[in-house]
Structure 1
């Protein structure tokens, strides 16, 4: 083989390699879904997952649940409370509607979790009764104290302002965003409020399948 032939052979091999990598990247991108479509639906995935603190809460059945052991499914954590006058019932109703329109294979991989920002009033019994109005399969968690709640809220960057519980009929200021927890028990991202039902119905199956 002459020097010219060797040069041509190397160039052809390099071009083939570059084309192969490019095609693989394109195909991989297709498998992962369209990041722009996810963002347009309000789904913001983190470049790196975040570990959750070792905090134990009590669910609506009175059973202990360690927050960093939410594994096996994708969990959408909504920080709210049962005495909330507006954003909580609206958001839970939207999540019920979104769930009802998702394909069964996506529903099987998802769980909706209400983390109470009002441990003073949200007993397990109160949570169970309240969530039953929306979907009995929704999970409710109440912390032992506001301090433990603050650890979890800080870890997932979902803000709330502890209420003055000495006032009658007090309200709690909190975010409407959802924290997205992956099946490995780490935070993978957020879903921005207000929720867009149609776009989330289209993109949640993509998220739980490909990420």
Structure 2
């Protein structure tokens, strides 16, 4: 192998190493979290982040809330509804516990958002009252059914809109959480059911502020 070939080989190896480290950093947020440990905790990171559609919903205070506002912090989105008999209250209770167990830095860098899949009954007032039973810092979003469906489709969270003419109807929906990065893009999912014992170990590394 000539000196030139050796030089080229070394340069290719260095570039490959840099690319590998860069990809790992993108996937893990800081380049330090162990992808295998993340998966074991139920955290599934996407190979490429997804942009969210430009939509306007309504928050629990009755204020217009653009999807673009889900920036500057990491966010966990849960698609549920306040009349849910089991999955939703259990998940919100687990999220309340998870936040309480996280170190302060991670907790301050994490926003929990419940997006209603039942906007027919989930008014802002209803959302605010309901979320207050779990954590007053949780954000609730409702709004036009088409906008909610578009957002759910964009982040691959399936649910079946209910026939609102039926009395005491229920809504079939996924219990997975959507992970959004501080840039407002979808980074992945947390699979249901939540394993707080493992999540409290893995999330702090993922949620570290950039810089």
Structure 1 length-normalised TM: 0.87
Cα distance, 1:13 vs structure 2? 11
Spell out, residue by residue over 1:149-193, the C-alpha distance to the aligned partner (whole angstroms, 9 max, x if none). Answer: 110000000000000100111000000001111110111111100
Query: 2:59, 2:139 within 8 Å by CA — same for their partners in 1?
Result: yes
Q: Indicate how the Cα distance of structure 1 residues 24 and 172 shifts in structure 2: closer, same or farther if over 3 A, else same.
A: closer
Task: Tell which deviates more after alignment, 151-160 or 14-23.
Answer: 14-23
**How has the CA–CA distance of structure 1 residues 14 and 85 changed in structure 2, closer, same or farther, with 3 Å as cutoff?**
same
> In the TM superposition, what is the alpha-carbon distance from 1:21 to its structure 2 partner?
7.8
Give the match for residue 73 of structure 2.
Answer: 73
Structure 1 Cα separation of the partners of residues 11 and 163 of structure 2: 67
Q: Quote the RMSD (CA, aligned, Å).
A: 2.7
Q: Radius of gyration: which is bigger?
A: 1
Report deviation, 1:208: 1.2
CA deviation string 1:58-84 (max 9, x = no partner): 101111111133100011000000000
Counterpart in the other structure of 2:120: 120
2:187 aligned partner = 188
Structure 1: stretches of 5+ with no match in the other structure: 1-5
Once the two structures are superposed, residues 111-140 of structure 1 have per-residue CA deviations (whole angstroms, 9 ceiling, x without a partner) of: 100000000000010000000000000000
Structure 1 residues 51 and 14 mapped into 2: Cα distance closer, same or farther (>3 Å)? Answer: closer
Q: CA offsets, 1:45-103, max 9 Å, x none?
A: 11111111111111011111111331000110000000000000000000000100000
Matched pairs, number? 205
Closer, same or farther in 2 for the Cα pair 1:60/1:12, shift >3 Å? closer
Residues 94 and 196, structure 2, Cα contact 8 Å, conserved in 1:
yes
Consecutive unaligned residues in structure 2, runs of 5 or more: none
Q: 1:127 to 1:206 in 2, by over 3 A?
A: same
Moved over 3 A (4+): 10-26, 28-31
Partner of 2:174: 175
- With normalisation by structure 2, the TM-score equals 0.87
1:3 aligned partner = none
Separation (CA, whole Å) in 1 of partners of 2:146 and 2:59: 18
TM-superposed deviation, 1:143 = 1.8
What is the CA-CA distance between 1:32 and the residue it aligns to?
A: 2.3
